[in-house]
Amino acid sequence: MPEIRVTPLGAGQDVGRSCILVSIAGKNVMLDCGMHMGFNDDRRFPDFSYITQNGRLTDFLDCVIISHFHLDHCGALPYFSEMVGYDGPIYMTHPTQAICPILLEDYRKIAVDKKGEANFFTSQMIKDCMKKVVAVHLHQTVQVDDELEIKAYYAGHVLGAAMFQIKVGSESVVYTGDYNMTPDRHLGAAWIDKCRPNLLITESTYATTIRDSKRCRERDFLKKVHETVERGGKVLIPVFALGRAQELCILLETFWERMNLKVPIYFSTGLTEKANHYYKLFIPWTNQKIRKTFVQRNMFEFKHIKAFDRAFADNPGPMVVFATPGMLHAGQSLQIFRKWAGNEKNMVIMPGYCVQGTVGHKILSGQRKLEMEGRQVLEVKMQVEYMSFSAHADAKGIMQLVGQAEPESVLLVHGEAKKMEFLKQKIEQELRVSCYMPANGETVTLPTSLSIPVGISLGLLKQEMAQGLLPEAKKPRLLHGTLIMKDSNFRLVSSEQALKELGLAEHQLRFTCRVHLHDTRKEQETALRVYSHLKSILKDHCVQHLPDGSVTVESILIQAAAPSEDPGTKVLLVSWTYQDEELGSFLTSLLKKGLPQALS
Amino acid sequence: MCKTELIDLSTVDVILISNYHCMMALPYITEHTGFTGTVYATEPTVQIGRLLMEELVNFIERVPKAQSASLWKNKDIQRLLPSPLKDAVEVSTWRRCYTMQEVNSALSKIQLVGYSQKIELFGAVQVTPLSSGYALGSSNWIIQSHYEKVSYVSGSSLLTTHPQPMDQASLKNSDVLVLTGLTQIPTANPDGMVGEFCSNLALTVRNGGNVLVPCYPSGVIYDLLECLYQYIDSAGLSSVPLYFISPVANSSLEFSQIFAEWLCHNKQSKVYLPEPPFPHAELIQTNKLKHYPSIHGDFSNDFRQPCVVFTGHPSLRFGDVVHFMELWGKSSLNTVIFTEPDFSYLEALAPYQPLAMKCIYCPIDTRLNFIQVSKLLKEVQPLHVVCPEQYTQPPPAQSHRMDLMIDCQPPAMSYRRAEVLALPFKRRYEKIEIMPELADSLVPMEIKPGISLATVSAVLHTKDNKHLLQPPPRPAQPTSGKKRKRVSDDVPDCKVLKPLLSGSIPVEQFVQTLEKHGFSDIKVEDTAKGHIVLLQEAETLIQIEEDSTHIICDNDEMLRVRLRDLVLKFLQKF
């Protein structure tokens, strides 16, 4: 029995270091290669030794697919390809290919230069790793080899995020990566066609949440920012350089313009400025409104938002600062947070999900005394707000996507076990689709049933289809043919054609049965009586009385003869071929019962 | 314009667009003909196609006509008119230019597709656009079923300009390759023409003259601007302003920068930096290139001479180019340089004669020439080539140039305008899927070494042109005998087909078998074609010939079935 096997190496009942191994029809594909932001030890990368104990990864894996540029989906890639060793193809979309190395370099700098980690991947390794990348277009069918093909679908979430269909023959798996089912201020909504995969592997970050309308959240956000700056406070918004940052900038920019506000908005420098450039050049990946109006006004050219300088953090008076990274686990956002945390006038707004172990996660779960490096304790007096701006599908969106793709089964990753449990039940009950949620290292095996594709001769098919159009087509009818198997070439042809192709002659088997009847009339009259009798019974069949006196029912021939010795008996000769056996044998037994006495 | 009498456009299911130049008549089809099908095109094709149409509509609407003459279209009058009017075909089908509303409506019917995307049409065929290397988003198309493949190659280029290179590998194994959209100027080398363009431009400007380049608002202009970007500094022309005047100039320049995924590798990697892929961004930033929607407004304030003006329409019949022809035509200092290959420059200039300005003809047509075609055909090896008639003979003006025609084996099949051509292949097979349960039940037998057969009796399910064979239903259980049965209920369904038989029956062995099964008193008679086996006791006669067996017996079903089974032992079923 063919089967599909799925093993999460990361993101199994967890958020972080997404990495899922899929085996389908003898092909092995690794989906994403992420890092975990909650750990600084070995656990931050997936355990690649699981894949093969003592073989090369390149020999085992047919390809690697990266869904989008977030580090929890691509952060381990240089480690995997350059340090563990993988030389096969790595597929990702163009924007991901453009942005991914920049985020990796940024991550490397924080790890090595700031935290002083040794044995980390180098800049050169990032470059070498990116050389193995093959960029894909949306909806392009990429032939990895003769059998394995992959296809990317738009996923929203961040610039260039994609869902991937992995297909071998008639078996397929769809991996969603992270996705968003509602368009936001800069990206469109995820979309997939009814591709009916055997398995849909979906993220489930917001498995239990059904979020209110985006407008309310936006209004809420603007109100909080506005109130804080009105009373002279400073607002810190920790973001990742690409994604939410652009959405919130567009939001604040339009608000500032409308309200004619003068309070400065800053963007932590470097990455983010560059990031806006990417958005400008990859306009076709943004939402419809931006695409339509970009010639008149490029939404990613901000008037009110200025580059941030470290010294500005100590400036008096209100300001709004977007700073990276988004989970307050390192870098500039953490520095600014430490400076401003002590003042209750200030506010930090966390616009996205925070992984366990990060400062962001701690303050969101209510912790107000944080132990920092060097046993310092930081007291958090500033207001802490959480706003779910992360562009993940909520429970409703996940259900919607499952409905769109119509998979045979669903497998949940990238979420917390408890929440997954709830969604799993919901999917099984409401959509009647089996659902799995393996932990890391746990393998799910799905048997698949494989249809066998063969070529059918057009003549045979057309003949069958033509009959299918007849009114009596309601009855199940049998198609009869011969399957010729030569090497791996399978063809279904009519039996006549099979005989002809193989140079064989048909052998005709014919039966003729004598049926004795008591009838004193002449042969012709007997034949006529037989005709009327059969005609009245066999309504669905073609019964004919031929000029030579014989009667036919379909291709069965009935002739009446008079044996010379007995004028009171007539012999009916019923003759048919093996192919008409049922009807022929039925007719003889019918005629044996005799003809009705009176002519009707 | 498309000739539409030949086909009823409401019966057309799908239109495949190759490049933005090939869609200028789309509104005429999608609006008002009853067409309800789908149009497929890539995103750059649609966006730039929209710009070309917008420019055309804008140019035409600037000069509204209160009334339009139509009496001349009468055949008797038309033939008295001077050429080219005299020779114009199908004048009765000529239409007014469409409106922007019709353009928008037409474009809204287009489905966007990407290169190498497999698009299922009604489950019957699959179409796939491939990069053709000619323009942003330009495509060749593959139309294939499981067993047949037709490639449509139109407007392709093997040169390295700004678009993604042509995908040749995917064209391999075609049964038929339809080849069209070759270069209009097979004798001109585009690279040489670009060089000539630059040197003539420099010469004119140095002498204090102006240069006019009649052009479309997208396409070759990007390459020309790129050449000038590299050239003007070295030629000491950096102070000469470049003006690009078109209602869609700004859009065209902006759009060109956002289609990174559709560009050649070099330009793509610039986007990764991130930098704009085309250097005209820098020309604009440094004020060397300025663009205007028309000659009115800002342009008249900024206008400085000598200068270089890019503007349309390349036919010189409408658009801002007309104004510059009038303005500069009288001075021999000025030059007009023709780069677009679609129009004869002599015809274009005719109404402006006599002209003092210099005219340079540098047609830049990057589409395939005949040498490239034969290289391509060698590479992709189609079984048959189909092309327009004019490609199968040398151009009329150069009838001795046997190299200016398609040369392939077997010879290309040609078609003419409004002619129906049957493609030279017969469809024989279609894909069908056999359900695993049915496949398990098949019993293959080896007939010849390497060839096995299995008879299949199955139920055919066809949905959306996808065929599936399912196992035959189990025979229905006889219903309980409470109901009175009618005779006709028992009539067997004659559509349950029995297999064909093959083989022959060796008489001696057959007789032995009969004896083994308890028949006695068997007599065998030889006949001309075979034998007759008589079972005298049972009053039964079996005629055996090479390809047939005939059992003649009394109406004794038991006996008949026994004999049948004995005969079948010697035969193979199909």
For residue B183, the model assigns a pLDDT of: 94
Q: Between chains, do B258 and A294 touch, taking CB under 8 Å as contact?
A: yes
CB B240 within 8 A of CB B306: yes
Task: Give the pair of three-digit tokens for residue A320.
Answer: 């709004």
pLDDT grade for A269, boundaries at 50, 70 and 90:
low
| B489: confidence class by pLDDT, cuts 50, 70, 90 | low
**What's residue B385's pLDDT?**
96
Beta-carbon count within 10 A of B422 CB: 6
C-alpha count within 13 angstroms, C-beta hemisphere, residue B234: 7
Q: Any idea which of A116-120, A152-156, B383-387, B510-514 has the lowest mean pLDDT?
A: A116-120
- Res. B36: pLDDT tops 90: yes
Q: Which residues from chain B sit within 8 angstroms of residue A539, using beta carbons?
A: 488
Identify the band that residue A567 occupies on the pLDDT scale cut at 50, 70 and 90: confident
Q: Is the pLDDT of residue A320 over 90?
A: yes
**pLDDT score recorded for residue A307:** 87
Q: Is the confidence at residue B2, as pLDDT, over 50?
A: no
Angle, nearest 10°, between helix axes A271-281 and B249-258? 120
| The token pair that represents B246 in the structure block | 């078109």
Peptide bond into B506 cis (omega under 30): no
B-chain CB neighbours of A563 within 8 Å are none
- pLDDT mean over B278-292: 95
Model pTM? 0.86
- Percent of chain A at pLDDT > 70 equals 96
Confidence of residue B481 (pLDDT cuts 50, 70, 90): very low
Q: Taking CB atoms and an 8 Å limit, are A455 and B432 in contact across chains?
A: yes
For residue B505, the chain A residues in CB contact (below 8 A) are 507
Confidence of residue A188 (pLDDT cuts 50, 70, 90): very high
More confident residue, A366 or B140: B140
Contact assignment for B459 to A478 by CB distance below 8 Å:
yes
Nearest CB to B498; choose among A456, A541, A581: A581
pLDDT tens by residue, B455-475: 888 888 888 888 889 888 776
Of the candidate ranges A45-54, B312-321, B368-377, the one whose mean pLDDT is the lowest: A45-54
CB contact at 8 A, B469 and A480: no
- Segment A448-453 shows an average pLDDT of 85
CA distance linking residue A353 with residue A359, whole number of Å: 12
Average pLDDT of chain A, as a whole number: 88
Q: What percentage of chain A carries pLDDT values higher than 90?
A: 48
Q: Which residue of A has its CA nearest to B250?
A: A295
Distance CA A452, CA B468 (A): 10
Contact residues, chain B, for A465 at CB < 8 Å: 460, 462
Answer yes or no: A582 catalytic.
Answer: no
For chain B, report the end-to-end CA distance as a whole number of angstroms: 56
pLDDT at residue A503, rounded to an integer: 84
**Selection from A207, A214, A164, A205 nearest residue A186 by Cα:** A214
Q: Is B72 on the interface with A (CB under 8 A)?
A: no
Closest CA to B192 of B308, B368, B339, B394: B339
Least confident interval from A142-151, A354-363, A391-400, B223-232: A354-363
To the nearest whole Å, the CA of B309 is away from the closest chain A CA by 22
Residue located via tokens 């658009």: B319
- Residue keyed to tokens 């308890």: B518
Q: Do A294 and B254 touch (CB under 8 A)?
A: yes
CATH of domain A510-593: 3.30.70
- Summarize the confidence of residues B312-332 as an average pLDDT: 95
d(CA B220, CA B226): 10
Mean pLDDT of B4-33: 90
Instruction: Give the start-end residues of each E strand in B145-232.
Output: 149-154, 176-180, 211-214
pLDDT at residue B479 is higher than 80: no
Instruction: Note the pLDDT of residue A564.
Output: 66
pLDDT confidence bin for B500, thresholds 50/70/90: confident
Residues 405-424, chain B, touching A (beta carbon < 8 A):
none
| Cα B298 versus chain centre, distance | 44
How far away is chain B from the Cα of A476, in angstroms, using its nearest Cα?
7
Please provide residue B88's backbone torsions phi and psi, each rounded to the nearest 5 degrees.
-65, 140
pLDDT at A213 over 80: no
Mean pLDDT, rounded, for A111-129: 87
Chain A CB within 8 Å of residue B499 CB: yes
Buried residues in A338-376 as b, exposed as e (16+ CB within 10 A): bebbeeeebbbbbbbbbbbbbbbbbbbeeeeebeeeeee
Mean pLDDT, residues A351-365 taken together: 85
A438 falls in which pLDDT band (50, 70, 90)? very high
Report pLDDT for A271: 61
B491 contact A CB<8A: yes
The band of B372, judged by pLDDT with boundaries at 50, 70 and 90, is very high
To the nearest whole Å, the CA of A143 is away from the closest chain B CA by 10
* Beta-carbon separation of A451 and B488 below 8 A: no
Among candidate residues A203, A218, A247, A385, the one labeled active-site is A203
Put simply, whether B55 touches A (Cβ < 8 Å) is: no
Determine whether the interchain pair B436/A475 forms a contact, defined as Cβ–Cβ distance below 8 Å: no
Mean pLDDT to the nearest integer, B483-495: 53
In the chain, the amino acid numbered B263 is L
Residue B444 to residue A483, Cβ atoms within 8 A: yes
Among A498, A513, A537, beta carbon nearest to B487: A537
**Domains of chain B listed by start with CATH number:** 1-113 (3.60.15.10), 116-182+368-423+431-437 (3.60.15.10), 190-260+290-361 (3.40.50.10890), 501-573 (3.30.310)
Residue in A closest to B504 by C-alpha:
A507
What pLDDT is attached to residue A600?
A: 40
Confidence of residue B58 (pLDDT cuts 50, 70, 90): very high
Which strands form B110-113's sheet, in the order they lie side by side? B14-16, B38-42, B110-113
Give the least confident one: A76-90, A318-332, B158-172, B189-203.
A318-332
Structure-token pair, residue A318: 């209100």
Q: Decide if pLDDT at B393 tops 80.
A: yes
User: What SS3 state is found at A240?
Assistant: coil
Local confidence band at B157 (pLDDT 50, 70, 90 cut-offs): very high
What is the 3 state secondary structure string of A82-121?
A: HHHHCCCCEEEEHHHHHHHHHHHHHHHHHHHHHCCCCCCC
Answer yes or no: is pLDDT of B492 > 80.
no
- A to B CB pairs, distance under 8 Å: 271
Q: Which of B254, B444, B555 sits opposite A513 (nearest CB)?
A: B555
Cβ separation A483–B491 shorter than 8 A: no
Chain A residue closest in CA terms to B447: A502
Out of B250, B255, B453, whose CB is closest to A498? B453
Residue A1 has pLDDT above 80, yes or no: no
B330 and B307 in contact (C-beta within 8 Å)? no
Instruction: Tell me if residue B255 falls in helix, strand or coil.
Output: helix
Output the pLDDT for position A446.
95
Report which residue type is found at B280.
H
Q: Where are the domains of chain A?
A: 3-210+391-443, 214-386, 452-466+479-506, 510-593
Among candidate residues A537, A541, A597, A600, the one with its CA nearest the CA of residue B487 = A537
CA A388 to chain centre: 25
HSE-CB at A4 with a 13 A cutoff on CA atoms is 29
Q: Is the dihedral of CA A66, A70, A72, A74 positive or negative?
A: positive
| Domains A3-210+391-443 and A214-386 agree in fold | no
Specify the CATH class of A214-386 in words: alpha beta
For residue B291, the model assigns a pLDDT of 97
Residue A227 banded pLDDT, cuts 50, 70, 90: very high
Mean per-residue pLDDT of chain B: 90
Contact A586 B492 (CB under 8 A): yes
pLDDT in the model for residue A272: 66
* Topology of the domain comprising A3-210+391-443: Metallo-beta-lactamase; Chain A (3.60.15)
Burial A200-221 (b: 16+ CB within 10 A, else e): bbbbbbbbbeebeeeeeebeeb
Cβ-based neighbours of B362, under 8 Å, separated by 6 or more: B193, B194, B196, B197, B200, B337, B338, B339
Share of chain B above pLDDT 90, in %: 60
Question: pLDDT exceeding 70 applies to what percent of chain B?
Answer: 95
pLDDT, position A590: 86
Q: What is the pLDDT of residue A418?
A: 92
- Hey, are the CB atoms on A142 and B250 less than 8 Å from each other? no
The mean pLDDT value for B394-403 works out to: 88
Q: Is B431's Cβ below 8 Å from some Cβ in A? A: yes
- pLDDT category at B488 given cuts 50, 70, 90 is low
The full DSSP string for A298-346 is -TTS-SSEEEE-GGGGG-SS-EEEEES-TTSSSHHHHHHHHHHTT-TT-
Is the Cβ of B123 closer than 8 Å to some Cβ of chain A?
no
- Tell me: pLDDT of B170 over 90: yes
- Backbone phi, then psi, for A68, in 5-degree steps? -160, 175
**Average of pLDDT values for A61-70?**
96
Distance CA A140, CA A157 (A): 20
Mutate to test the interface with B, among A150, A300, A578 (most CBs of B within 10 A): A578
B446 close contact with A: CB closer than 8 A? no
Kindly indicate the confidence band of residue A476, based on its pLDDT and cuts at 50, 70 and 90.
Answer: low
pLDDT the model gives residue A113: 75
Q: State mean pLDDT over B312-328.
A: 95
